[in-house]
Structure 1
């Protein structure tokens, strides 16, 4: 096997939190990607991954209902964009945003969802069975790598507790909420699907569920510098299953 073929089969590299932050900073500063642009690209890719993991034709309930739980930070912004794209893909998303953010992008994405008639819950039902009866899938966009776990408080801590008890499948965006970016977790929520944003993080090294990667847009020089070894994306797909 020649070196080119060896490169093709080499496993993707799982980045530390520090490396992921540095790479995103370069994209924003040196490559002039806008934050809203990245959020839109990643939100669309997340919706695509969820549609691949839970096709409309495979859902048992009559209506393809999805609950998207969005935190106040960047991961929540991606969740809001994902919810809007799920709506375009003919799913029926409902959004729960427990801590409305003063961030202008978060507010803009919220307005876009509202203007597309996506319903917003004012509270998360505490009865786990109620959630199980109402939704086919729950999208976890509560906490991302940017969130300091020591700083989280109510209502986010109660939301994580509720998510731990769910039987309905969870799809987490970037990292499962409550996990440390650099370490695999045996505690906390247990999503069925993980959609890594741009690159997989170290905490996902032993993730047992369906793992998708949304990183096709990354410039070649970035891929080379961080030795990402991205897998081959099929056709025009924006995501690939690892």
Structure 2
């Protein structure tokens, strides 16, 4: 297990991404590829393909959804059978290329989320990232409602969708207040919402094995020791 010294707020996460793509020299494609690869490895560690082979990937219209699409490609190559629900596909070059890559691997897309949820072994939540602001609009309001009721294990990328990146889950009675995934994959550094990710048997991974020590020091967070050639490192979860 490892620990991090500081959470990265929504404001700082956006600013850090901007810096990585300017003076840091990274392209959006590179950051998405690194994030998606980390997510695929975290899925493998949580639910190997010989245990839970079917993965339903819920991709939102932004970069979090792009991370999920990259993860789906890697999961296919790791021996899983992913199915993708992608109802709000933006017509942008980066997402069109990810879509084509998945088509070339014969990864199916579905428009029937409820049926796909019933037949899957696990769910990869790639709907909303750290820039999410309520309300949750259709069709994702129905998706979150179904996930709250489902017993299928859910793995969320960066923050559980419907949660506020800084203040965590919605207040009781609001949509998403009962949504708690089994696994959380923080990217670059945990966000403040991760403080609310608690529970026996839950697992928290960090992916971001590309950040320099100088960048981490500048933004005030600690780089954990990634073991061997691993792309993710597991963080402790409060019970």
Query: What does residue 191 of structure 1 align with?
Result: 181
Query: What does residue 191 of structure 2 align with?
Result: 201
Task: Indicate the RMSD between aligned Cα atoms, in angstroms.
Answer: 1.5
1:46-65 to 2 correspondence within 5 Å? 46-59=39-52, 64-65=53-54
1:154 partnered with 2:144: no
The superposition leaves residues 188-210 of structure 1 with CA deviations (integer Å, 9 ceiling, x where unpaired) of: 42100000111100000131221
1:240: Cα distance to partner?
A: 0.3
Residues 67 and 93, structure 1, Cα contact 8 Å, conserved in 2? yes
1:56: Cα distance to partner?
A: 2.6
Query: What does residue 170 of structure 1 align with?
Result: 154
Residues 178 and 188, structure 1, Cα contact 8 Å, conserved in 2? no
Residues 179 and 188, structure 1, Cα contact 8 Å, conserved in 2? no
Count residues in correspondence: 225
- Output the TM-score relative to the length of structure 2: 0.89
1:234: Cα distance to partner?
A: 0.2
Where do 4+ consecutive residues of structure 1 move more than 4 Å? none
CA distance, structure 2, for counterparts of residue 123 and residue 10 of structure 1: 40
In structure 2, stretches of 5+ residues that fail to align are 171-176
CA distance, structure 1, for counterparts of residue 13 and residue 178 of structure 2: 22
CA distance, structure 2, for counterparts of residue 204 and residue 10 of structure 1: 12
Query: What does residue 140 of structure 1 align with?
Result: 125
Cα gap change, 1:10 to 1:135, in 2 (>3 Å): closer
In structure 1, stretches of 5+ residues that fail to align are 1-8
CA distance, structure 2, for counterparts of residue 115 and residue 189 of structure 1: 34
Residues 73 and 147, structure 1, Cα contact 8 Å, conserved in 2? no
- Output the TM-score relative to the length of structure 1: 0.88
SS in 2 for 1:95: strand
CA distance, structure 2, for counterparts of residue 234 and residue 192 of structure 1: 23
1:184: Cα distance to partner?
A: 2.4
Query: What does residue 207 of structure 2 align with?
Result: 214
